[in-house]
Each structure stands twice: as structure tokens, then as C-alpha cells.
Amino acid sequence: MTSLIGKKAPSFKAAAVVNGGEIVNDFSLDQYVGKKYVIFFFYPKDFTFVCPTELHAFQEKLAEFEKRGCAIVGCSTDTEQSHWGWLQMDKKFGGIKGITYPIVADTNKTISINYGCLNGDYSIDENDNFVASSEMIAYRALYLIDKKGNVRHLLINDLPLGRNVDEALRMLDALQFNEENGEVCPANWSKGKEGMKADHSGVADYLAKH
């Protein structure tokens, strides 16, 4: 699949649970275009082990993202009813009670297909039966979307590998630094450090002399 970097984030309308318990049927990222940055992340399954650690980690840093004008939105291939039930379960029992950002239900898997992060392949066998190579669930994918609705950063981890929420925040800082200052961010850059000017004059001078 062609990378989504620099392209419009695929649009969708789907059911989602917002504010920790309210189900809405036509949730869309389009509501943020022109208003907010978005961290849109996928996780494999509700009621699992690594997934709640990631969802709680995003909640713990939610104020930092919001301070930067960025919305956090989660998504998995579970139903909105499954999301709702998990949201009612206390953290000490493996639940995600206390999560307030939206969680989208990609029940028909079209969102994760369009974002290029659905695990497994499927086909039709000689008896016209639908055959899947593995569980059709989303990888641990993350997309940083700018205010214009374009994907500027993406990361896709295999199912056992949890993400670093601080890295997502760092990438948001880097994008905003570039937009505000016109400078690029070198390796291991973090908020408060100097950027670099994308000046190719030195290279041009060298080539002219050689």
C-alpha cells in the first residue's frame, strides 16, 4: 500500500463512544479539520493486556496534547457496545474507566483497511468461502494529522509491541516547531532544543568547486 504521508487522512463516519460513555453514530475526524491537530491511533482489541496500558497512557498525557491544540482519538475493530462495556470496567480489573477521548468502532474494518493497518489477508477459496489468514484486527498504528487534515507522521507496531506516548507528543512538538519557525528538527530533537535551517548553499558551493 502507498504511504499516507503527506496525503489527506482517509475520511470516515462511524459509531464511537465519547466522554467515557456516550455513543454517537456518525463520528468523523472531519470535525477537526481547520481547528485541531489529531493523534489517531489504532489498537488490536478491547479487554486485552497491552491495549489498556496504551489507552491509559494517552489519557494521562491528554492535557499535554490538548494544550497543544491536539485531539486524541482511539480506534479498534470492536463494536461500540464492546467499547462502552470496557469503559465501565475499573482500571484495576483491566478496564479503561476514566478514558474521556473518543474511541471509534471500526466494526466492518474499512477504516483500518483504508489506513493500511489491518492485520491479516483474506480471499475467497474454490468453494466461494471467505478465508482469512489470521485475526482481522488492527495493528498498533498511530497517525499524526495536521490542521489541514494531512497525515504528517505514522507509526505501525506489530501486535505485541506497545507504543511510547511521549514519542507521539515529541512528534507533535516537532511538527508545530517546523510550522512556526520554518526550521527542521534533527535526530533526537525535543521541545526547547534548537532546530536547523534547511540551507543547501554549502552543498551547492562544494559541488561548484568540485
Digit-coded pLDDT (tens) for 83-122: 999 999 999 999 999 999 999 999 999 999 999 999 987 7
Q: Is 117 a catalytic residue?
A: no
What separation, in Å, do the N-terminal and C-terminal C-alpha atoms of the chain show?
41
pLDDT at 199: 65
Among the listed residues 51, 75, 117, 185, the single catalytic one is 51
What are 112-140's pLDDT values in tens digits?
999 999 998 777 777 777 677 778 999 99
Note whether residue 9 is domain-resident: no
Environment class of 53 (CB within 10 Å of its CB; exposed 0-12, middle 13-18, buried 19+): middle
> Could you tell me the pTM of the whole model?
0.90
pLDDT score at 202:
47
Nearest 10 degrees: Cα torsion 177, 156, 159, 73? 50
Residue 193 lies in a domain: yes
Question: Has residue 66 been placed in a domain?
Answer: yes
CATH number at residue 65: 3.40.30.10
Q: Give the residue carrying C-alpha cell 505501525.
A: 156
Residue 207 — pLDDT band, cuts 50, 70, 90?
very low
- Cα(88)–Cα(97) distance, integer angstroms: 5
- 4 domain residue, yes or no: no
Range of the domain at 197: 14-209
Per-residue pLDDT of 15-48, as tens digits, reads 999 999 999 999 999 999 999 999 999 999 999 9
Give the chain's domain count: 1
In a domain, 3, yes or no: no
Which tens digits make up the pLDDT trace of 139-162? 999 999 999 999 999 999 999 999
**Cβ(196)–Cβ(187) below 8 Å:** no
Residue 7 maps to a domain: no
Domain assignment present for residue 56? The answer is yes
Range name among 29-38, 49-58, 175-184 with the lowest pLDDT average: 175-184
* Residue 1 is assigned to a structural domain of this protein: no
Q: What is the pLDDT, as a whole number, of residue 129?
A: 77
**Is the model's pLDDT at 203 over the cut of 50?**
no
